[in-house]
Amino acid sequence: MDDRIIKTEYSELMQKSYIDYAMSVIVSRALPDARDGLKPVQRRTLYDMYELGIRYDRPYRKSARIVGDTMGKYHPHGDSSIYDALVVMAQDFKKGLALVDGHGNFGNIEGDGAAAMRYTEARLQKITQEAFLADLDKDVVDFMPNFDETEKEPTVLPVKIPNLLVNGSEGIAVGMATSIPPHNLGEVIDAMKAYMKDGSISTRELMKYVKGPDFPTGGIVINQDELLEIYETGTGKIKVRGKVVYEKGKNGKTNLVITEIPYPMIGANIAKFLMDVAALSETKKTADILDISNQSSKEGIRIVIELRKDADVENFTNLLYKKTRLEDTFGVNMLAIYEGRPEVMGLKQILKANVDFQFQIATRKYTNLLAREMEKKEVQEGLIKACNVIDLIIEILRGSRDRNMAKACLVEGKVDGIRFKSKESRIMAAQLMFTEKQANAILEMRLYRLIGLEIDALIKEHEDTMANIYRYEDILERRDSMAQVIMNELDDIKKEYGRKRRTQIENAEEAVYKEKEIEEMDVCFLMDRFGYAKTIDMGTYERNKEAAEAENRFVFTCKNRGKICIFTDSGQLHTVKVSDLPFGKFRDKGVPIDNVSNYSSEKESIVCVTSQMELNLCQLVFATAQSMMKVVDGGEFDVAKRTVAATKLAEGDTVIGVAAIHHQNNVVLQSHQGCFLRFALSEIPEKKKAALGVRCMKLAEGDFVENVYFIQNSVPVSVEYKGKEIVLNNIKANKRDTKGTKIRV
């Protein structure tokens, strides 16, 4: 038993297993091959359709049949991955060149998914059949056993174009990801031909042909100067904008119409874009929008934004570029499997990999064709020779007992046992030296081949065969001849399937949006006990002053271009632009303060709300449950961030009071157990907001400060404590950090 136990380090075993898994995902599932630009699931699906005979000129077949056959024979990783790959290959808005002709609901550009595979049908596109699968019968690529070794599948498809560039690719592996944009077929073919003519050509020179990515959704690439580095290194960011046109609307209004969208916007991001545009109006980033409508159809994208008469259209367009996904970024990482390992490749490297692959395919193809023509030549020469001595051959056939005897005479000149009419025939038969293949062809030859016209056709066929042999030998012996053949095929593909570029390439200035200056004025901030906030004009406030102060928790004056500061019991400061709050009528409900700030009513409570304008003119006093207090200059809270720490707290401590100092000169602390301590405000030291503060009241065990009051000696202030009214001014004054006076009720 001990001999069968293998001892190994657990960490080493886990490391090896994970590396094996990672490489399996990288090579066998997630990344495309640099030669045919296909992931394994795409390659297997196309090959299965080819095997099933689902050609472009034949009827569609159910997608479920294709998926099931592919999964059963080649790709045992679930039907959803196969169907998803089939759907994407049929979506012309995702691929530069659709490889599958889908019939039925295969989804749309707005993000609606495809119908279930039992409802849709598919077949190969013509270009897929002619440029991806055409030469599979000529032994141009290697085949390998499938997962259960019951079938053979190609390791790579004999694709005649740089499909990795034409269709691009996206995939996430373990520790790496690929993101390659689609390109224009004609441009890529021209670049490939240029590389074949001059292998030392630079990336800059190749970009005279490949201007940049050509997204099926069109759009405008706006960072042309950065493309050279992207294509040299294989990584970078491409900035894409949607295409906008302006149309005259009703009553002199202007309609902004989006006719092309950035490639990353396809799918659910179109709906998000519409929501973002609506949000610009709701949050008062702009008041120019009157209406938004998505009028997109099968004919193309058409998103219409109706603007006000006096709208600055160009400035509004820049707002869309800045605040929405109408300008987006496509991250480029041209990672592919090259020579069995993942590698980030530039434009020239990808073209080199494809050119080398084309020469390999052509070499195997024409070597195979040459062998077939040589075999035909051998048979044809035997038949022509046989026609010249047909009487002798007939005599041999009539005089032989069986096929083997006749064949031995034709191949080796053995005449024993064969009856001849004359000695001359025997002598001539003994001199015959046909090859094995020639003898078989002669024995299987039909009598109609002896007709004169048939003999002439045989001679003509032999001449054609010899011409093919000379041509194939020339292609195999001279690289220039092979290159010309490849380029001719590329020209034919470009002529039939090439199309005009859809995406514009240019250098555009960064979008600059100038916010309209709002006329500064005083407004009144109102926030009720439920946390709903709004602003109203001062005239409305003056007319409803009593009701405003009775119904709201916080009421104060601020500037409409200023900020509101929210201090919470957790020691945080949240700031809100006054312009983000609704401005309207006194009886309007307002908006929850949670919706316009980082404040969360579930995690913290509001202690104080004030305006940034007031803070800049005064000092703040902080008080906590553990009786820690400090004075902080209000200018320290003039911050750009929406949330900062307003004060430092000890563990388990909370803020119970924050107040601006104006005319107050005394502080009264009230503990939970009924102790009241009154002392001079001047005894509290001024500190920075990051400081902890000083202790201001000695607390009994289990006690804590419950309330803090700031008073003036000349203004009586009374509070109710457990049903008893207490005048705070009458409490005996003490020093800071004492126990205070116990109130008995």
CB atoms inside a 10 Å sphere around CB 452: 8
Q: Are 223 and 239 in contact (CB under 8 A)?
A: yes
Q: Are 689 and 670 in contact (CB under 8 A)?
A: no
Q: What is the pLDDT of residues 302-347, one digit of tens each?
A: 999 999 888 888 989 999 999 899 999 999 999 999 988 899 999 9
Residue 293 φ then ψ, to 5°: -145, 140
Q: Helix or strand or coil: residue 438?
A: helix
- Among residues 41, 25, 33, the alpha carbon closest in space to that of 338 is found at 33
Q: Are 615 and 658 in contact (CB under 8 A)?
A: no
Distance between CA atoms of residues 563 and 489, nearest Å: 68
Reply yes or no on whether the pLDDT at 3 is more than 70: no
The CA-atom distances, in angstroms, between 574 and each of 259, 486, 596 are: 41, 67, 10
262-266, 456-460, 544-548, 632-636: which range is least confident on average? 456-460
Reply yes or no on whether the pLDDT at 440 is more than 80: yes
Q: What is the pLDDT of residues 179-197, one digit of tens each?
A: 999 999 999 999 999 999 9
Q: Helix or strand or coil: residue 466?
A: helix
What percent of the chain is modeled with pLDDT above 70?
97
CB atoms inside a 10 Å sphere around CB 72: 14
Distance between CA atoms of residues 315 and 290, nearest Å: 16
State the catalytic residues.
119
Q: What is the pLDDT of residues 280-302, one digit of tens each?
A: 887 777 888 889 999 988 888 99
Structural domains in the chain plus CATH codes: 243-325 (3.30.1360.40), 359-497 (1.10.268.10), 517-615 (no CATH), 620-628+653-745 (2.120.10.90)
Q: What is the pLDDT of residue 212?
A: 94
> What contacts 624, CB < 8 A, 6 or more positions away?
649, 650, 653, 654, 655, 656, 693, 705
Q: What is the pLDDT of residue 521?
A: 87
121-130, 676-685, 721-730: which has the highest mean pLDDT? 121-130
- Please compute the mean of the pLDDT values over residues 395-418 and round it to a whole number: 83
The CA-atom distances, in angstroms, between 54 and each of 57, 102, 161 are: 8, 12, 22
Q: What is the pLDDT of residue 517?
A: 66
Q: Are 696 and 628 in contact (CB under 8 A)?
A: yes
- Please compute the mean of the pLDDT values over residues 36-62 and round it to a whole number: 94
Full-model pTM: 0.75
Q: What is the pLDDT of residues 648-685, one digit of tens each?
A: 999 989 999 998 888 778 899 999 988 999 999 989 99
The CA-atom distances, in angstroms, between 629 and each of 632, 647, 717 are: 10, 10, 21
pLDDT band with cut points at 50, 70 and 90 for residue 357? very high
Q: What is the pLDDT of residues 564-617, one digit of tens each?
A: 999 999 999 999 988 888 888 888 888 899 888 888 888 889 989 888 888 888
User: In this structure, which amino acid lies at residue 23?
Assistant: M
User: In this structure, which amino acid lies at residue 691?
Assistant: A
Distance between CA atoms of residues 578 and 571, nearest Å: 22
Reply yes or no on whether the pLDDT at 14 is more than 90: no
Q: Write down the mean pLDDT value for the chain.
A: 89
Strand 606-611, strand 169-172: pairing: unpaired
CB atoms inside a 10 Å sphere around CB 476: 17
- Please compute the mean of the pLDDT values over residues 375-397 and round it to a whole number: 83
Q: Helix or strand or coil: residue 6?
A: coil
Reply yes or no on whether the pLDDT at 49 is more than 70: yes
Q: What is the pLDDT of residue 91?
A: 94
CB atoms inside a 10 Å sphere around CB 245: 11
Q: Which helix (H) or strand (E) holds 602?
A: none
Reply yes or no on whether the pLDDT at 59 is more than 60: yes
Reply yes or no on whether the pLDDT at 2 is more than 70: no
- DSSP type of residue 29: I
Q: What is the pLDDT of residues 441-467, one digit of tens each?
A: 888 877 666 666 577 888 888 899 999
What percent of the chain is modeled with pLDDT above 90?
53
Q: Helix or strand or coil: residue 173?
A: coil
